[in-house]
Amino acid sequence: MAMRYLIVDDEAPGRTNLRLAMAAHPDWMLVAECEGAAAARAVLAGQDVDLVFLDIQMPAESGLALARE
């Protein structure tokens, strides 16, 4: 079964680099890419996700705040 993951990073190059690196692992499936915690919450509310790659320093809300939830 595929490992389902979410990328949360306010910087587009960071999201792109991680997505490209993970493309080498066909058993991992990208669920979504989000620019911030609010968008990530919406994805997590409606999708099954096994792992979240989470940026810690984001302008609107810290990734740590999201991780605590």
What is the structure's pLDDT at 60? Answer: 86
Domain residue extents for the chain = 3-68
For 55-64, write each residue's pLDDT tens digit: 999 998 999 9
What's the angle, vertex CA 47, arms to CA 32 and CA 51, rounded to 5?
65
pLDDT tens track for 8-31: 999 999 999 999 999 999 999 999
pLDDT digits 0-9 by tens, 25-49: 999 999 999 999 999 999 999 999 9
Which class for 60: exposed (0-12), middle (13-18), buried (19 or more C-beta within 10 A)? Answer: exposed
Class of domain 3-68: alpha beta
